[in-house]
Amino acid sequence: MKKPYCSRVWIGLACMLATTWGGRAQESALRSLTTPTDGTRFSMLQFDRTLNTFLWLGKLYLDRNFGSTSIRLSQESRSRIVKTDPTSIKDDLTLSVNVVSDLKAGWSLHGAGRSLILSDNRTVELSSLSQHQIYAGPEYRPGPRLRASFLGGYEFASQEGVRDRGFSYIAEIVGDQLMVEEFDADMHFRSIASYLDRRSPRADSLSLMLRRQFGDLAWNKLTVRSMNQRREFYTLADTAISREHRTDRNIFRREARDLSITDTLVYAVDRSLRLTVRGGLLSRGIRRSYEYKSAVQPSAVPLDVSISEFSVHGSLSLEKEFGDWLMSALSLSYDEREEKHAVRDDPSLPRGDYERQEKSARRLGNIASRTGVSANAVADVTASDRLRFGGSASVLRYDTPDTLNTDDRDELLVSAGLGWLHVVGSHLSIDLFADVSLNHLVYLSRLQSANNNWNRIVRLRAEVRYAPSSWIRNVTVSEVLANYTVYDFEEQIRSVRSFSFRQAYWSDSLGIRLNRRMDFSVTGNLRLYERGILRWKEFKERPENYIVEVAYWPQISYIAGPGIRIAVGYRVFFQDRYRVEGGVSVFERRLHNGGPTVALIWDNGSNQHFILHGWRETQSEDNVTLRRTSNLTMTVGILI
């Protein structure tokens, strides 16, 4: 043991899926309801109610050009209300405005505004926060691949009623695909800082990438990244701090510095064999501190805490193609990370308090290393048969230099999967898959050895897709899963019990196009699972509870006009729970949710859509109605 914004989105479909469940056939039937749009320009207003949660979402994007001047506006807002006791209310708003006016000889004038507003009535010290910034300054482009800008301005900030203001700036230098000797280089430097009345947050980052091609067979890429960040927040001051410094707020400061270097070498031995070598290191330092200390009562504020982390990683992978029918890959990897925690000594603090905090921080130090190997292969055995295999194994060693820390452990993880896809003509496909995983956890300290265990998971899955015509589509899925957790010392420790979890799952999804205007779809699934006490040596189980879940959702949709679709259905879910006594299942209770569903979709095919989806849900237990709830999702989208 060692000791040392997505570019393309389905706006409407995403909103539908946010509040519905369904199979692939029903998903396919609804896929034509919306048109993909440019997500960076699409404005949207959405309302959603699910049970006692109300959610409002708003997105506004505007991009306009007026001669040599361009204006870009982006606003996102989110408001959530959860009707509990007390009611939870959370709001956030972000606004960004950019104005660019081109001048002459590569110069342009930039103006920018940023706003951030957060509020949460359930959070104590960050229940109210706002930040407003306005900038202006020049940008210079000496060439098409290089630009530099400096924007200066003013920031108004508020947190928990404490207002700050002061100078702020953004400096940026960007170079894309710059040729430096024989290297292709990318460089990005960005510095943001604010000098407020009592706080001075900042964030600096530098990224440098060098890439070189060695003929047609090899290339190398070196990436260096550096980050320096300081964040400051107001926090409630202790009574001693308030008396000494005449303030009711202390300032919590978090400073972080990162430096990472990674290198990737790719060598193509020939067209069918490729070797990839990766390696790198990361150095990170974090410091947490408070602005004000108490000379009268030093223990009122925790000591400054520093965390240092150093890690190295490396991997070697080999990819080989055997003709057009077999692709394979083999990879070896090693990662090691060392983490140290320390506190900064304060001479005014009693030695007992310092030693207590120093001991608590030191015991968090650790050294972790992981060695892994993985392999996968895909083989097109015939024109209609494909085999695929994937497997991996890794060993984790977690060591704690401090003798008071008993978390030292070794962990073995092995997994493997095998799949077979068989295609019968153009209408039928059968996909079979089996996978197993094995995890062994061993604590090295006798104080933790009661948690030593083996975890075994076995899963078998079959999926059949059948589409005899463009009017009918059916997907059937069957799956069985077994999970066994066995403790090493269950015979010696009576309080430790091995357990098992077994599950069987079936689902079927059918979609039928009745005519050119009307579709019918139905999705149903059945899930059976049980939990129990396991005796691994005899491979016997004593079930403790048994649960049956059934869900189905038939739906009919009708195209009422150009871009208009109406859908009605009935959605049902029920769960029966049993306890097992003397080998006999005894019914405990039934949970039932069900009710009609409706959907209204309008899409003009270019830049506007409206989506309304609702479910009138009746919740009952043992045939006694508990409540009736209307779940509603409404989305209005427009391309400006």
Q: So what's the pLDDT on residue 251?
A: 92
Lowest mean pLDDT across 48-52, 66-70, 331-335, 615-619: 48-52
476 within some domain: yes
Q: pLDDT: is 534 or 204 the higher one?
A: 204
Lowest mean pLDDT across 12-26, 184-198, 455-469, 506-520: 12-26
CA distances from 279 to 216, 392, 395 (A): 22, 20, 19
Q: So what's the pLDDT on residue 548?
A: 97
- Verify that 479 and 355 share a domain, yes or no: no
Kindly tell me if the per-residue pLDDT of 352 is higher than 90: no
Kindly tell me if the per-residue pLDDT of 169 is higher than 60: yes
Q: Which long-range contacts (CB under 8 A, 24 or more apart) does 97-105 make?
A: 97/71, 97/72, 97/73, 98/71, 98/72, 98/73, 99/69, 99/70, 99/71, 99/72, 100/69, 100/70, 100/139, 101/68, 101/69, 102/68, 102/69
Condensed to tens digits (0 to 9), the pLDDT of residues 542-590 reads 899 999 999 999 999 999 988 899 999 999 999 999 999 888 889 999 9
Q: So what's the pLDDT on residue 350?
A: 79
Mark which of 386, 413, 440 sits at the end of a domain: 413
Condensed to tens digits (0 to 9), the pLDDT of residues 475-484 reads 999 999 999 9
Q: How many CB atoms lie within 10 A of CB 290?
A: 19
Q: So what's the pLDDT on residue 192?
A: 96
225 within some domain: no
pTM: 0.80
506 within some domain: yes
C-alpha distance across the termini of the chain, in Å: 63
Q: In whole angstroms, give the CA distance from residue 116 to residue 365.
A: 37
Lowest mean pLDDT across 134-138, 168-172, 175-179: 175-179
Q: What is the DSSP string of 482-538?
A: EEEEEETTTTT-TT---EEEEEEEEEEEEEEE-SSSEEEEEEEEEEEEEEEEEETTT
- Verify that 378 and 477 share a domain, yes or no: no
125 within some domain: no
Kindly tell me if the per-residue pLDDT of 31 is higher than 70: no
Condensed to tens digits (0 to 9), the pLDDT of residues 210-229 reads 999 998 889 999 999 999 99
Q: So what's the pLDDT on residue 324?
A: 87
Condensed to tens digits (0 to 9), the pLDDT of residues 495-522 reads 778 999 999 999 999 999 999 999 999 9
- Verify that 469 and 576 share a domain, yes or no: yes
Lowest mean pLDDT across 461-475, 505-519, 526-540: 526-540
Condensed to tens digits (0 to 9), the pLDDT of residues 431-452 reads 999 999 999 999 998 888 888 9
- Verify that 391 and 483 share a domain, yes or no: no
- Verify that 465 and 523 share a domain, yes or no: yes
Give the pLDDT mean for 478-495: 87
Q: In whole angstroms, give the CA distance from residue 59 to residue 92.
A: 12
Q: In whole angstroms, give the CA distance from residue 207 to residue 227.
A: 9
Q: So what's the pLDDT on residue 28?
A: 35
Q: pLDDT: is 326 or 125 the higher one?
A: 326
Q: So what's the pLDDT on residue 640?
A: 65
- Verify that 480 and 579 share a domain, yes or no: yes
- Verify that 456 and 596 share a domain, yes or no: yes
Give the pLDDT mean for 255-280: 95
pLDDT over 70 percentage in the chain: 93
- Verify that 403 and 461 share a domain, yes or no: no
Kindly tell me if the per-residue pLDDT of 9 is higher than 60: no
Q: So what's the pLDDT on residue 606?
A: 73
Q: What is the mean pLDDT of the chain?
A: 89
- Verify that 544 and 595 share a domain, yes or no: yes
Mark which of 362, 393, 413 sits at the end of a domain: 413
Q: So what's the pLDDT on residue 41?
A: 63
Q: Count CA atoms closer than 13 A to 480's CA, side-chain side.
A: 1
Give the pLDDT mean for 298-306: 85
Residue 427 banded pLDDT, cuts 50, 70, 90: very high
Lowest mean pLDDT across 17-31, 394-408, 411-425, 496-510: 17-31
Count: domains in the chain: 2
Q: pLDDT: is 604 or 444 the higher one?
A: 444
- Verify that 378 and 487 share a domain, yes or no: no
Q: pLDDT: is 320 or 403 the higher one?
A: 320
Q: In whole angstroms, give the CA distance from residue 535 to residue 35.
A: 55
Lowest mean pLDDT across 117-126, 233-242, 407-416, 628-637: 117-126
Give the best-scoring range by mean pLDDT among 126-130, 142-146, 341-345, 549-553: 549-553
Q: So what's the pLDDT on residue 33?
A: 30
Q: pLDDT: is 124 or 194 the higher one?
A: 194
Give the pLDDT mean for 108-135: 90
72 within some domain: no
- Verify that 524 and 617 share a domain, yes or no: yes
Q: In whole angstroms, give the CA distance from residue 399 to residue 396.
A: 10
Give the pLDDT mean for 372-400: 96
Q: So what's the pLDDT on residue 6?
A: 35
Q: CA 554 from chain center: how many Å?
A: 32
Q: What is the DSSP string of 418-446?
A: EEEEEEETTTEEEEEEEEEEEEEEEESST
Mark which of 391, 413, 435 sits at the end of a domain: 413
563 within some domain: yes
Kindly tell me if the per-residue pLDDT of 203 is higher than 60: yes
Q: So what's the pLDDT on residue 23?
A: 38
Range of the domain at 374: 313-413
Q: In whole angstroms, give the CA distance from residue 323 to residue 317.
A: 19
122 neighbors 90 (Cβ within 8 angstroms): yes
Kindly tell me if the per-residue pLDDT of 21 is higher than 50: no
- Verify that 505 and 585 share a domain, yes or no: yes
CA distances from 348 to 249, 469, 477, 618 (A): 22, 82, 68, 64
Condensed to tens digits (0 to 9), the pLDDT of residues 363-381 reads 999 999 999 999 999 999 9
Q: So what's the pLDDT on residue 236?
A: 87
pLDDT over 90 percentage in the chain: 68
Q: In whole angstroms, give the CA distance from residue 538 to residue 217.
A: 57
531 within some domain: yes
Give the pLDDT mean for 340-363: 86
- Tokens standing for 157? 């900030």
260 within some domain: no
Q: In whole angstroms, give the CA distance from residue 306 to residue 311.
A: 17
